[in-house]
């Protein structure tokens, strides 16, 4: 797996299984994240040394407005850098199975797809745009930082809205707000609920 086309094909192979399997269980956001990782490995055929979960990175002197704004809130000793942690990353094979924090520059340069995800595990409440939009902006900012060092990455936001009770599911209005935010930022948006599944911004 050496390019974005390969990585996107792997995600598309895994997508039906992600939908099917996430609909079968009720769990925490971290559990669904692990399920998505599993599906990418098993059904998407992503090599084990090219996929990481909770990949901590360091960006020195960020150029994106999103990370500049977040850098400004850090303690003085940590200003001038940010440490985003994408939920799941598919890498170019040049990563050689090493995306440790100390290897942050290589991790940034070798990303093919960066995925953030949210799940509707809210007790008597719904997943809201204010929880999702910052992650959309985050993966868009990661793309900008990666482009700044001469590479490319596909930013993806994936929503698992499988709560069984309607009062804990996203409203149609909220979904539309999130769609518009993803469209504005040029981020691919994947959505699945107990009855619905779709994607936008995917080429």
Q: What is the pLDDT of residue 81?
A: 79
d(C-alpha 72, C-alpha 60), whole Å: 13
Query: What pTM value is reported for the model?
Result: 0.93
CA–centroid distance for 157 within its chain: 5
Q: What is the pLDDT of residue 176?
A: 97
Beta bridge partners of 86: none
Residue 103, pLDDT score: 81
pLDDT for the residue numbered 74: 55
The span from the CA of 182 to the CA of 177, in Å, is 9
Question: What pLDDT shows up at residue 79?
Answer: 65
Question: Residues 155, 138: contact at Cβ < 8 Å?
Answer: no
- What's phi and psi for 63, nearest 5 deg? -105, -20
pLDDT > 70 fraction of the chain, expressed in percent and rounded: 95
Q: Which residues contact 95 (CB under 8 A, 6 or more apart)?
A: 49, 50, 106, 107, 110
| pLDDT for 104 | 82
Instruction: Round to whole Å and give the CA distance between 79 and 96.
Output: 30
pLDDT of residue 73: 58
Q: State residue 72's pLDDT score.
A: 59
Q: What is the pLDDT of residues 5-30, one digit of tens each?
A: 999 999 999 999 999 999 999 999 99
pLDDT of residue 152: 95
pLDDT of residue 76: 59
Q: In what order do the strands lie in the sheet with 111-119?
A: 51-53, 88-91, 111-119, 154-161, 188-193, 197-200
- Please name the residues in contact with 101: beta carbons below 8 A apart, sequence gap of 6 or more: 56, 57, 58
pLDDT < 70 stretches in the chain: 71-79
Looking at residue 1, its pLDDT comes to 84
Q: Which two tokens stand for residue 20?
A: 């099917």
Tokens coding 74: 């850090």
- Are 153 and 15 in contact, with CB atoms under 8 Å apart? no
């Amino acid at each position: 797996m050496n390019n974005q086309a390969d990585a996107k094909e792997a995600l598309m192979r895994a997508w039906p299984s992600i939908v099917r399997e996430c609909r079968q269980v009720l769990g925490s956001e971290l559990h669904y994240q692990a399920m998505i990782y599993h599906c990418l490995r098993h059904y998407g055929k992503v090599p084990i040394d090219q996929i990481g979960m909770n990949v901590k990175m360091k960006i020195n002197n960020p150029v994106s407005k999103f990370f500049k704004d977040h850098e400004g809130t850090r303690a003085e000793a940590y200003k001038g850098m940010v440490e985003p942690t994408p939920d799941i990353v598919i890498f170019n094979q040049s990563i050689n199975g090493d995306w440790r924090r100390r290897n942050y520059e290589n991790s940034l340069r070798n990303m093919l797809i960066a995925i953030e995800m949210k799940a509707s595990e809210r007790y008597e409440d719904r997943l809201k745009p204010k929880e999702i939009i910052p992650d959309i902006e985050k993966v868009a900012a990661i793309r900008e930082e990666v482009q700044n060092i001469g590479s490319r990455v596909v930013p993806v936001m994936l929503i698992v809205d499988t709560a069984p009770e309607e009062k804990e599911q996203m409203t149609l209005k909220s979904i539309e707000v999130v769609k518009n935010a993803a469209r504005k930022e040029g981020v691919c948006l994947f959505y699945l609920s107990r009855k619905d599944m779709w994607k936008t911004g995917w080429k």
